[in-house]
Amino acid sequence: MVFENIDFEKSISELNQSPKDVGSEVAFVGRSNAGKSTAINSITNRNSLAKTSKTPGRTQLINFFKVNENKRFVDLPGYGFAKASKEKQKSWNRLVTNYIKYRQSLKGVILIIDIRRGFGEMDLMFLDFYLPLNKQLHILLTKADKLSKQKQSLILNEAREIYGSIATIQIFSGTKKIGVTEAQDQVIRILESTK
């Protein structure tokens, strides 16, 4: 499967606006600025695909991208915007958690973690919520180009020790194209999983 025909489908602010819940979806999650858009762009080999999700008014919506008739990428709003009000953060929570909980076609999540910052409070809260759902999880330790090879593998090994039994984890850099093929393979694995 290649993603060259991927295209923006729609943004939603209410679950009932979602595309029909059939086929399979992979969702991208992470704190704002972790590198989610850059990761989506490099995995799809499309330089400005995820820009759509960054246009004003869209950053707090769920954005759907269609790969083909029955496969979609889903860009979830980044958690922890400095500027969002408490009310907006709550509605982020409700929209996203309900989407993740009830969406039949959601096969798995790609969690984006800035390798230098590691797992933050929101990432851990996300994992607490997500893991009991028993869906697939793949973690990208991104912006790896900012660390030495030695430091990268140290952190990867640490992360695998802690999360290796519940997730696959890799080193990644969207800007320096590190681990892109591995990430593509994982996305395909999730989209093709039958669970």
How many Å from the N-terminal Cα to the C-terminal Cα in the chain?
19
Site for ligand GDP in 83-112 (CB under 6 A): none
Report in angstroms how near the CB of residue 38 gets to ligand GDP at its nearest: 3
Report in angstroms how near the CB of residue 148 gets to ligand GDP at its nearest: 14
Comparison of 135 and 146: residue with beta carbon closer to ligand GDP: 146
- If one asks whether residue 36 binds ligand GDP (CB under 6 A), the answer comes out as yes
Contact present, 179 and 171 (Cβ < 8 Å): yes
Report in angstroms how near the CB of residue 165 gets to ligand GDP at its nearest: 26
Angstrom distance (rounded) from CA 191 to CA 58:
24
Comparison of 34 and 127: residue with beta carbon closer to ligand GDP: 34
Angstrom distance (rounded) from CA 60 to CA 68:
25
Angstrom distance (rounded) from CA 12 to CA 25:
15
Q: What DSSP state is assigned to residue 19?
A: P
Maximum C-alpha span of the chain = 47
Report in angstroms how near the CB of residue 12 gets to ligand GDP at its nearest: 18
Comparison of 35 and 108: residue with beta carbon closer to ligand GDP: 35
Q: What phi, psi does 57 have (nearest 5°)? A: 90, -15
Report in angstroms how near the CB of residue 54 gets to ligand GDP at its nearest: 7
Comparison of 23 and 45: residue with beta carbon closer to ligand GDP: 45
Angstrom distance (rounded) from CA 80 to CA 23:
30
**Which listed range, 13-21, 35-43, 95-103, 118-126, lies at the site for ligand GDP (CB under 6 A)?**
35-43
- If one asks whether residue 179 binds ligand GDP (CB under 6 A), the answer comes out as no
Of the residues 29, 173, 183, 186, which one makes contact with ligand GDP according to CB under 6 A: 173
Structure-block tokens of residue 24: 């399979």
Angstrom distance (rounded) from CA 37 to CA 46:
11
Would you tell me which residues interact with ligand GDP (CB under 6 A)? 30, 32-38, 78, 142-143, 145-146, 173-175
